[in-house]
Structure 1
């Protein structure tokens, strides 16, 4: 039996997939960031000694990588900007107070951490690609949290983090859809 939260997560996946298929994520930009990190371990990584001011990431505002219009078909998401755990993050939340289901995700820019510094959160680290951009995927299988980490350059990256619903096993599907919406707005890898 699927929990109520699991059903909402599945509905969010379906809605986000329909956004990608319909091309709603094409041109508008906006802000994104969850109010609290569902899994603090996904925000913690090893810091490299690179100078953040010389990375591509330092010129990117994470809240401009998605817009409310991009997510309108899924719900009314409110962005919140935060600096935390060595990243500038934008959290998007579909507020229960405003009739949403409370779904939240984060898009973070790490100016001095590469995809090679991603921590294994318990489910291993798997190399992948998002629209042909090098990326890695890691997650916490106990809580079904997932992070898709995309390369900006040799010293910076963008993380898409989706908290899970234990037992639902779909946070990486949602993260992949969101990463697919964000990636076209990232600069080319030098």
Structure 2
């Protein structure tokens, strides 16, 4: 369960760029430079291994997770699943492994950013209440993290996206290396 990370229903003006308008492709937000080196343990983890296709299917993902190009994102590995929300809208679920960027480098990009913990692990949550986007960043070390993003295309708020993202965080967090900070 997500502790302290709340506020998914609060409306904030602005439109963070991760939503990418109303595109069906989720964009993993870029961040300011994190630490100077990569976490070698985290760098070896493939994003698609952090959520099984069976687990993703519980969130109405359709098909297997797809590895994504990381050249523009600053991530060492990115995986994406597409699917449908409870209302039938298109959804995108993404996991990005960032072995050289800690949670302190998460950029709000116009959304609402809150700090908290997931199962005792430091975390931040980025919410675009006007665009159906929610991202939870889980710290692995002070200079590395894993981002979990969920977007509902065309949604008028992020309540359902954050509820789903929180459930995904509860599944993924125990699979990460123990927090070292």
Please confirm whether the aligned pair reaches a TM-score higher than 0.5, indicating the same fold.
yes
Residue 161 of structure 1: how far off its partner (Å) = 0.7
Pick aligned residue for 1:63 from 48, 65, 85: 48
Secondary structure at the counterpart of residue 42 of structure 2: helix
Aligned counterpart, 1:15 = none
Pick aligned residue for 2:120 from 123, 132, 142: 132
Structure 1 49/68 Cα, relative in aligned 2: closer, same or farther at 3 Å?
Answer: closer
Aligned counterpart, 1:83 = 69
Q: Which runs of no fewer than 5 residues in structure 1 stay unpaired?
A: 1-34
Aligned counterpart, 1:92 = 81
Number of equivalenced pairs: 149
Structure 1 or 2, whichever has the larger Rg, is 1
Cα deviations across residues 144-179 of structure 1 (Å, max 9, x unaligned)?
311100001121100001113431432111111111
TM-score, scaled relative to structure 2: 0.72
Q: Does 1:115 align with 2:100?
A: no
Aligned counterpart, 1:48 = 34
Secondary structure at the counterpart of residue 78 of structure 1: coil
- In 2, Cα distance between equivalents of 1:66 and 1:181: 8
Residue 141 of structure 1: how far off its partner (Å) = 2.7
Cα deviations across residues 76-121 of structure 1 (Å, max 9, x unaligned)?
43210013311121001238xxxx8642210110111000000013
Structure 1 37/103 Cα, relative in aligned 2: closer, same or farther at 3 Å?
Answer: closer
More contact order relative to length (CA 8 Å, sep ≥ 6): 2
Residue 129 of structure 1: how far off its partner (Å) = 1.2
Contact persistence 1:55–1:153 (CA under 8 A): no
- In 2, Cα distance between equivalents of 1:166 and 1:94: 14
Higher fraction of helix = 1
Aligned counterpart, 1:30 = none
Q: Which runs of no fewer than 5 residues in structure 2 stay unpaired?
A: 1-22
